[in-house]
Structure 1
Amino acid sequence: MYDLSSKFNTFYRNHVVLSNDERSNLVEKKNLNVRRLKDGLIEYNEEKGRDYKLAEEPVVQGSVAMFTVTQNESNDYDIDVAIIFEKDAIPSGPIATKNFLVEALKKKTTQFNVQPEAKANCVRIEYADGYHIDFAIYRRSKKEGEDEYTYEHGGGLEWRERDPRSITKWFNQQNKNHNYRLREIIRLLKMFSKSRPGNWKKMPGGLILSVLAEEKIQEYERIDERFYYSLKEIKNRLLWNKEVKNPTDSSKSLNLVSSDNDKMTNLYNRLSDQLSKLDILFEPDCTHVKAIEAWEGFFNHSYWTEQKESLSEAGALKKAHASYTSSQESLNYRETEEFITHYFGSSLKKYRLEIDCAVTHRGKRIGVLSMILRRRELLLPGYSLEFYISDTDVPDPYKVFWKVKNEGEVAKEQDSIRGQIFEGGKTHSEPTSFKGNHYVECYIVKSGLVEARKRISVPIKV
């Protein structure tokens, strides 16, 4: 297969992955509407003499939680948020619960053209520019003899047992199992499925695409090969079987209505048609221009058109062959960062947690990191760090989790951004390895809820 991995990786990083600004915009949209919900509940309670309140911090779900949203979804962002109440503190039926939430939200959304509306599985807020926020309703309770909560989702007319984090947990584990490359395949597949918005109607939703990608992801070193062979396997799978099961409950199908079957057929047909146009990549006389033209036709994206136009001159073509394995390929790092809220609920209580770090070099104690940072000093590579909990008022017993996140270009170049969540003790040791504004976070978890968290910066200079 013609090697176009450098340009493919540039396309992925610059035109598929959501920018930090766009991610921040989604987070702000979510936070703004959570504030509206909380403030609306206060006003509703005062007016109706009720005491409805959230039991824990809202939980982001779906593609936003999994970070699989792509740039060509910009006019159709679907932000899913689970809001959780105590079982005994709300009406017994989901419909009554959704109704009072609609009334509470309306008190803070008077400027909206479309007012909040109760749907079968959520309460929805729609923005004029294409965004919509779906608040999925959950209630929690503890079963007799159990320490952690059981969650139930209020969809339709009944409450059904469901963990609001189950899909995100599934994705995180599978992404890890596939060497943190699953998110990449899902994003690229979504980019393809939305590449003809005017002509390609009725394509499967993000969860179905995610399940298919997980089932058939292929392990190749190059990004273009990983994607091509994964899609080829998905196409072959759909030829014989268009049924997709819920990844956390195999007794349930994700093909809920007849139109879902049409979407699966459309995906199969469009994959078959477009993958055949990539056959040129396997021809011995395939050129750089022909390879770019093939991916241009596949993705229907201006990036590939611009690349082709830039090679219109003979000199540019020669230069491209010499440099297409450019420094951009060094950015092909794995996105390994995880988030504690994907695994545990966040308590509304405010417990105290303080952490610090003992710094040593060649067996000699340099000092504590908090004082070093206060003096605006930086660390050097080759130091030893021992992070520890210096103070907390969370009552025993509890569990301690840590996260070490490397930031900066060196971390990306070395494919070592880290950021995984792991359980540990009250101390954790790390070396200072390379330049960057890194950080370490500590979390205290009790009864399945994050009761306290703290971050400390670890700036390392050359």
Structure 2
Amino acid sequence: MYDVSNKFNSFYKNHVVLPKEQKKRLFRLKNLNIDRLKEGLKDYNEENKTNYQIVETVVQGSVAMSTVTQNESNDYDIDVAIVFDKGNVLDGTIAVKNMVANALKKKCKQFNVEPEAKTNCVRIVYAEGYHVDFAIYRRFTNENGEYQYEHCGSQWRTRDPRAITKWFIDENKSKNYKLRVVARLLKMFCKSRNDWVMPGGLVQSVLVNECFQSDERIDKMFYETLKSVRDRLILNKEVNNPADQEQSLKLIKKDDVRLERLESRLTTYLNKLDVLSEEDCTLRQAIEAWKDFFNHSYWEEQWEQAKETNAVVAKSYSTTKDVLYDETEEFMEYIFPLKIQYSLSLECKVTHDGWRTMFLNEMLRKRVHLPSSRQLDFYIQHHNVPKPYQVYWKVKNSGDEAKRRNCIRGQIVKTNSETHSERTSFRGEHFVECYIVKNRVCVARDRIEVPIVTNE
């Protein structure tokens, strides 16, 4: 298969992955509308002499799984679970959704379309085209002291608001963090024409996960996975919820039609990529094939640049600039509910041969940055969480050097140890976090910054 992996890397980094500022904007919109709902609930409670209280909010869907892509434009779907205690919410599902919709209406009077109670959520639609879906849950404590959740649809059904996000995180990790890459690229294809209506993002992610084909080259990995998805759809178009295999993700008749379209369009456009496997395939043919596939101006620009720089060669090579790094960071709020009710403080002993022992918090107070090649021994200096509990640690590297080395880390690891050791290696504003989890709820956390100024 003709190798355009360097150009594919650049396409992915610059035109597929949502830029940091746009990600922040989505979370600002999420927070803004949660605040609107909470303020609206206050007014609703005053008027109706009720006391409805949201006890948890959980980001869900493509925002939580970080599979949102640039070509979704303003068609962003921001999914948020709002959770009530079971004893503090009505039993009737229609009544609960109407209550939430009415609370939102009190703070969304500037919207062209009023908040609407739908079968599985309450929706706010922005004039620009994107929308916020509030999925409603209620929780109760089971006999083991753990929270159990029920979703408000046509009836109350047992469902964990974090289950699908956790499934995706685990599957992405098991595939060396490449599942998210292919899922984003498939979404780019599915939204590459304005008149296409294709299966939703979760269905796409389930299919990609089931049919995933690993490869060092991003273009080949994507191509081989899509061939497997197409072949799978020819044989079977049933797609089940990964968190509940007894539940189909095809909820309405239109979902069958959309899966048929996906199979048909994959067949058509994969056939156009057959040229990549021909021995005499040229760079121009390869670029034209991917341009046709993604319908994106980036690929037209690649051919124009190649002509201008006389870079039309039989094979293209990766550059340092185009090398991808694995997005490995995990977030505790996607794994467990957060209910910080106990204290936790971290300290770190910094040692090095011929160098007096110091403590990191003291260095931070004095604004002293760490040099490289130092031993770091982190430990829980104090906490007041009663046993039993579990201890988790997270080490996150940041900066250009961490990306160049493909070493941003950020995984949350259960160790049950109150100490954790590292060494300073390269420049960056890094940090370490520690969490204590009790009855599957994060009840204490702390963070300590680790600023490193020089390389080894």
Instruction: Bin the TM-score by the shorter chain.
Output: over 0.9
Distance in 2 separating the partners of 1:71 and 1:36: 27
Residue in 2 aligned with 1:325?
A: 318
Structure 1 outlier segments of 4+, above 4 Å:
320-323
Match for residue 14 of structure 2?
A: 14
Residue aligning to 1:79: 78
User: Equivalent residue for 2:107?
Assistant: 108
Corresponding residue for residue 364 of structure 2: 373
1:302 aligned onto 2:288: no
Corresponding residue of 1:99: 98
Matched with 2:69 is 70
Q: Which amino acid aligns with 1:178?
A: K
Separation of aligned partners in 2, 1:304 and 1:41: 49
Partner of 1:174: 171
Q: Distance in 1 between matches of 2:437 and 2:33?
A: 27
Mapped contact 2:6–2:316 kept (Cα < 8 A): no
- Contact 1:358/1:365 (CA < 8 Å) preserved in 2? no
Q: Which residue number in structure 2 is paired with residue 54 of structure 1?
A: 54
Q: Is the 8 A contact 1:9 1:328 kept in 2?
A: no
User: Of 399, 407, 420, which residue of structure 2 is paired with 1:428?
Assistant: 420
Q: CA deviation at 1:370?
A: 1.0
Whether 2:202 is the aligned partner of 1:207: answer: yes
Whether the aligned pair in 1 keeps the contact of 2:239 and 2:249 (CA below 8 Å) is: yes
Which of 124, 132, 146 lines up with 2:144 in the alignment? 146
**Aligned residue in 2 for 1:439:** 431
Q: State how far apart, in whole Å, the 2-side matches of 1:300 and 1:322 are.
A: 23
SS of residue paired to 1:311: helix
State the one-letter code of the partner of 2:442.
V
Counterpart of 1:326, as a letter, is T
Pair 1:454-2:449 in alignment: no
Measure the CA separation in 2 of the matches of 1:373 and 1:269. 59
For residues 260 and 356 of structure 2, the distance between their equivalents in structure 1, rounded to whole angstroms, comes to 65
1:5-44 paired onto structure 2 within 5 Å: 5-44=5-44
Contact 1:289–1:308 (CA under 8 A) maintained in structure 2: yes
Give the Å deviation of 1:59.
Answer: 0.3
Q: Distance in 1 between matches of 2:314 and 2:331?
A: 41
Q: TM-score, normalised by structure 2?
A: 0.96
Look up the equivalent residue of 2:153 and give its one-letter code: G
From 227, 233, 249, the equivalent of 1:254 is: 249
Are the equivalent residues in 2 in contact too, given 1:6–1:328 (CA < 8 A)?
A: no
Gaps of 5+ in 1: none
- Structure 2 residue aligned with 1:352: 343
Any conservation in 1 of the 2:2–2:315 contact (CA below 8 Å)?
Answer: no
Instruction: Find the aligned partners of 2:295 and 2:180 in 1 and give their Cα distance.
Output: 21
Say whether the 8 Å CA contact 2:3–2:316 is kept in structure 1.
no
Q: Single out whichever of 442-451 and 176-185 deviates more from structure 2.
A: 442-451
> Which amino acid counterpart does residue 100 of structure 2 have in structure 1?
L
Shift of 1:364: 5.4
* Matched residue type, 1:235: R
Sort the Cα spacing of 1:40 and 1:393 in 2 relative to 1 into closer, same or farther, 3 A: farther
Once the two structures are superposed, the pairs formed by residues 116-195 of structure 1 within 5 Å of their partners are 116-143=115-142, 145-156=143-154, 158-195=155-192
Sequence identity of aligned pairs in percent?
55
CA RMSD between the two structures: 1.6
TM-score, normalised on structure 1? 0.95
Residue 340 to residue 368, structure 1, CA distance change in 2 (3 Å) = same
Q: 1:394 offset after TM fit, Å?
A: 3.6
Residue in structure 2 matching 1:273, options 268, 272, 280: 268
- Gap regions ≥5 residues in structure 2: none
d(CA) in 2 for partners of 1:78, 1:197:
16
* 1:419 has 2:410 as partner: yes
CA offset digits 1:359-378 (Å, max 9, x no partner): 11138553111111122211
User: What secondary structure sits across from 2:205 in the alignment?
Assistant: helix
Alpha-carbon distance between aligned partners in 2 of 1:367 and 1:270, rounded to the nearest angstrom: 62
Alpha-carbon shift at residue 322 of structure 1 (Å): 8.4
Moved more, 84-93 or 252-261: 252-261
Per-residue CA distance 1:175-197 (angstroms, 9 max, x = gap) = 11111100001000000011011
Q: Does the 8 Å contact 2:79/2:134 carry over to 1?
A: yes
> Residues 4 and 316 of structure 2 are in contact (CA less than 8 Å); yes or no, is this contact kept in structure 1?
no
TM-superposed deviation, 1:392: 3.0
User: Which residue matches 2:331?
Assistant: 339
2:3 touches 2:315 (CA, 8 Å); kept in 1?
Answer: no
Per-residue CA shift, 1:371-393, capped at 9, x if unaligned? 11122211122111111222334
Q: Tell me how far apart the structure 2 counterparts of residues 365 and 270 of structure 1 sit (CA, whole Å).
A: 66
SS in 1 for 2:382: strand
1:323 shift after superposition: 6.8
Per-residue CA distance 1:328-368 (angstroms, 9 max, x = gap) = 333x1111111111110122x55432212111113855311
| Structure 2 residue matching 1:234: 3-state secondary structure | helix
Separation in 1, partners of 2:34, 2:410? 26
